[in-house]
Structure 1
Amino acid sequence: MRRSEIAEQDRFMLLRQREFRIAADVVADAWMSFPSVRAVAVIGSVAKALWKEVPRFSEFRRKGIEVWHECRDLDLALWIDSQEQLSALRRAPRPGRYERPTSKELVPASSASSSIYS
């Protein structure tokens, strides 16, 4: 396995985490518009710094090559005062068609002052 392939896999894992963070911001913004919502938190691997591990992909696993952890889903915690608007909350995060940002458009989470990850 070439170093360039490993570097490409690492770049993809970091991009994937950033995309999940963008999605979390969209959903959190939509939910926070409801008066009954008190807080939204991102939990799991999307919320923390990624770590190196031997992944489930056979080409890396067979050779014991470590790459950044793969974020496979987005976990959000929601604190509400009332359950009366649950149906509306389920429908709220409808950002429309999601356009994947280019790497130039991505802002590192550490420099995003309004981010929910700070």
Structure 2
Amino acid sequence: MHHFFRVQLSSTRRGARLARLLAVEQLREWGVRLTAPRQIIAELASNAVLHGHVNGRDFALLLHLSPETLRIELVDTRGDKDLEPTAPPWYAERGRGLLLVAAFADDWGVEWGPAPRKTVWAEVRLRRRDQQG
């Protein structure tokens, strides 16, 4: 069983919210537990809008489901290469998104190209009980 889902959305708060909602519904349909994927998608969609926004360009959300793994990809058109998860000061209200992705994902990374595209991806290994048939 392999499934694929892709949606292209505007680089706005509304687009990020819609990405989360559509992804959760798709994952429910596939029978995937939602805790880790929901958090990862929320953080990556927010980052795509806040840090990957380029006027007039959209971002894409892709989900790849295999029997063992769910791969989440957020593709934007900003090629910034400063994506290391560093802890913000304790008083900061923002800046913990990639730390949360690293905590919820079994693996994650960034792929650049073709210019100016950037793909931030995360993988969650599935356990047998994560899927319903």
Asked whether the two chains share a fold, i.e. TM above 0.5, the reply is no
- TM-score, with structure 2 as normaliser: 0.29
Q: Relative contact order (alpha carbons < 8 A, sep ≥ 6): 1 or 2 greater? A: 1
